[in-house]
Structure 1
């Protein structure tokens, strides 16, 4: 039996539309939903097994990517948003009513990913955003209660839908982080 990785990837990866340039993210509230306008396609979209990202009910992974911070604007019912955990590097802004994370923002200007906001493209009203390209923090699902002995099955299922599983970020993003760390250490 297949594991519910995430509703948008469980049956395979659906490729995005060429030229997709953003749209409106909508929380799951039936009345007065929070709406966030995003003026960009998603970059580095991936399945994420960390314990902090919002996941749909029953899913083992979230699907999250980044967009330029200056392309994200709360357009409706922003008064319903609250930061989930102010102590975290990524300040996840979630709807207080339905719990959906609308965007995550890094305020630390010295962080390698400052200037990028994290979003869940499945919340777009419009179809066509970039498809996930890898799976990150796969082993972290154990921290959420997933049985360690089932991990080989999870990795095999991830690979069967065309994603490469990593227990950190993919090599490109790890290179960005390492380059940033080097530059910070040798700035003088």
Structure 2
């Protein structure tokens, strides 16, 4: 059974990445004056994401996204081309206004992910860490995938070593729940 394009960097297998990757330069898809964003330091929680908010390469059902501390993310070149996609969203996705590529998305308001920026590692130079799971898998239906394709998509993700979740990974869900419990006083800070 043929499965639609998941994402170009994972479709035909996941190459082992560098878990010690020390950051690098994100570059948008423009050939003229590309936006460049420096990520100084490593990234975490790299995963395939099926949500309808994340930027995806043409024809892909999933994005590949990770996080870095916002303090480690800075615009290096052509920041005048950046615009926030949806100012009301939790993740303030800054995209190139010319090519549409999402460059980084900081979480600035009170949330467990506050202080992190979401990035698309395939835009980094170098050998970035490989994805470790797939999140919001059923959301690809909202993006136009026929529900009849879901069994094949989940099977392909598992074959690639990416456990498919319809939310985030258990470790990230535990992190969110711990943050909420501390905030409400159920757990001590």
- Give the TM-score normalised by the residue count of structure 1: 0.96
Unaligned runs of 5+ in 2: none
Q: Equivalent residue for 1:112?
A: 112
Stretches of structure 1 that go unaligned for 5 or more consecutive residues are none
Q: Distance in 1 between matches of 2:28 and 2:143?
A: 23
Distance 1:133 1:19 in 2: 15
Return the TM-score normalized by structure 2. Answer: 0.96
1:133-176 deviation per Cα after TM superposition (whole angstroms, max 9, x unaligned): 00000000011111111111110010111110000000000000
Alpha-carbon distance in 1 for matches of 2:73, 2:15:
24
Which whole-Å CA distance do the structure 1 matches of 2:19 and 2:129 have between them? 9
Tell me the distance in 2 between the aligned counterparts of 1:181 and 1:15: 34
Give the whole-Å Cα distance in 2 for the aligned partners of 1:111 and 1:2.
Answer: 36
RMSD, matched Cα? 1.2
Distance 2:127 2:29 in 1: 19
1:168 corresponds to which residue? 167
Runs of 4+ in 1 over 4 A off after TM superposition: none
Deviation at 1:13, TM superposition (A): 1.0
Partner Cα distance (1:121, 1:140) in 2 = 21
Aligned length: 186
How does 1:11-26 map onto structure 2 within 5 Å? 11-26=12-27
